[in-house]
Structure 1
């Protein structure tokens, strides 16, 4: 039945709209059945009331009322079956429409994923990750090489030779300084050497006094 309804609406804009139109039509039919059931229920209540009123005084009228009541009840049962089928059909269409929309959304997402991945495969991913790891290792080695000071290491023999030169220069400076240190002279010897100088100074003073006396005359 659903296939027939879908084919009936096949000329509509699209399947989604056709499903919506079918659901609307089914709901309208369901409303008509519900109104018919309300009308029949009123008739059943009226016939039952009439049958009770004439059950003793007029059995023929009561019997006819009961027959009409039974006919209305049979019609009610038939309408109830139709209403159930319509409700099931509506539920089926709504479920099918939801499934179609879900599948369309999933298909769209799948297409987007396919376009994103393109020709990507696990082998290509593994190869790319291996290259990335290799390049990281190379970058680390380059960084370490750039940060390591170059040209600062000295040969041990060269250092020892330079140290020996410094030691020799220090010893030479000390020896040169020792040659200019004054020798220690005993006190008695120093006085003997100083005496002639004092005598010379006394003679000069005597001559100066004699010259001054001569000029005074």
Structure 2
């Protein structure tokens, strides 16, 4: 059955064999949507090998995502601390200016004050944009991990990966940041619907729907 993915460009699609999200470059609509990993175990006679390799592939993906989640959680905490410190510093400089450290009655002082205020605004804007990008990157990693590891509504106390919540290391990593990640996702959806810059990943269903 022909696929509907774009041709001659790199795209991310789910492998029809193992179901993992992989990068493809299709030359024809008739190209198989099967990743390189799975092409080595095609055929019914290789079913055991296929299952074993699928398990190894998914274990590697989950371990990589768990590492990304831990790094993302640490980065999110650091970014928030850096943002708070930068805002405090800018506010302190602003207050010093307002307190009359520079004499506005003097033309040179007034000009310098305007220049400093403009510089503070630009620096604050750059710091805010940088922090936003860092937070977006961290939250995207958590969002991707959340897709595979969240409480299973059909099985209380179980993770959607099949393990119990207590036994799932990824769920434990996510738990401390899950609400922050969901709040971030809601804010990004508002930005998306308003046509503004957002940090949602391209595979997010609302991004694709738009």
Q: Which of the pair is proportionally richer in strand?
A: 2
TM-score above 0.5: no
Larger Rg: 1
Query: TM-score, normalized by length of structure 1?
Result: 0.34
Query: TM-score, normalized by length of structure 2?
Result: 0.35
